[in-house]
Amino acid sequence: MLLNLKQILAPAKQRGFAVGAFNVTESTMFRAVVEQAEELKAPVIIQVSPNEFEFCDREQYLYFVERLQHSPNPFVLHYDHGKTYEGCVRAVQAGFTSVMFDGSHLSYEENVRAVRRVTEMAHAASVSVEGEIGSIGETDNFEAGTVKDMIYSTPEDARQFWEDTGVDALAVSIGTVHGLMPRGYVPVLQLQRLREIAAAVDVPLVLHGGSCTPAQEVAEACRSGISKVNVSSEFKNAYYQSIKDFVLADPIKVSPTLVAKDAVQQVRRVVCEKLNLFGAVGMAGDYRAPARERPTGEALPAVD
Ligand SMILES: [Zn+2]
């Protein structure tokens, strides 16, 4: 079943677990995540970043939507880190049930204005919206072990932003970093800050950069108000490492069915580990398919 973010995160927030959100680029990775979620009866969010979205053709998303809609397991198809209004419209037109508008690089006022515009468009199509307050860090220099652009979220800003925009989920910056960690850098989550933000807003909170943050801290964050955790680099790294090892060991056997076999298992291993950590395994039974089919994106404003 294909839900929006609001629908998939409500039971998570209520019962104190988090839904894993996995960034997939192509259909082999997509199948590995979907089949593992189904096996574990865990709700899962499939997400696609703007670069990944542009990399694939529109027909791929017809397949994604069809596959997720007909699964007994709850899923969301989410557009991650959208940076433009037009990008968000295209995702809705492609059948995505949720979009993120990341205005963390903008001033507060510009961020609010841009998110409100996206929210108005998306909500008209029953599509949910994730916003971001503060700024989640990026790896600056891998060898030097430094990060950049991290601005912690505060409970006051989170509450104001939520009231000003009407977002359905809110990404907060509490110490995680996007991507694989720079050498020697160990992210420390500010769990007290998280608890204060969770107490100040009544909207599900999102943790980005869930790949290499210590497991116990992520598990604690899921019990302290985080309802969605984004995972990307960790399973992609396992996927491509496996392919690299296979091809280097036997450059003659380059058939995709042989090359991808172990890589798929590596993705499934990471997904399984994360879903257990988030407390999401077996939670699919909490969900019911929405009563009405959501409207298609046909009535949306036209963009090139
Ligand atoms: Zn992110």
Mean pLDDT of 163-170: 96
Mean pLDDT of 220-232: 94
The Cβ of residue 259 has, within 10 Å, a number of other Cβ atoms equal to: 17
Give the chain's end-to-end CA distance (angstroms, integer).
Answer: 30
Question: How much distance in Å is there from the Cα of 234 to the middle of ligand 1?
Answer: 13
Structural contact between residues 211 and 232, judged by C-beta atoms closer than 8 angstroms: yes
Question: How much distance in Å is there from the Cα of 262 to the middle of ligand 1?
Answer: 27
Q: What is the pLDDT of residue 225?
A: 94
Split at pLDDT 50, 70, 90, the class of 192 is very high
Give catalytic residue positions: 80
Interstrand relation of 44-48 and 98-101 (parallel, antiparallel or unpaired)? unpaired
Q: Name the residue with higher pLDDT: 104 or 53.
A: 53
Residue 132 pairs in a beta bridge with 171
Q: At what angle do helices 233-249 and 256-278 cross, to 10 degrees?
A: 150
Hey, which CATH number is domain 5-299, 3.40.50.10860, 3.20.20.70, 3.40.50.450, 3.90.650.10? Answer: 3.20.20.70
The percent of residues in the chain predicted with pLDDT above 90, rounded, is 72
Average pLDDT, the chain: 90
Question: How much distance in Å is there from the Cα of 81 to the middle of ligand 1?
Answer: 6
Question: How much distance in Å is there from the Cα of 180 to the middle of ligand 1?
Answer: 12
Q: What is the pLDDT of residue 242?
A: 94
Of 13-22, 52-61, 70-79, 294-303, the one with minimum mean pLDDT is 294-303
**For 200-225, how does the pLDDT look when each residue is reduced to its tens digit (9 = 90+)?**
999 999 999 877 788 999 999 999 99
Question: How much distance in Å is there from the Cα of 238 to the middle of ligand 1?
Answer: 19
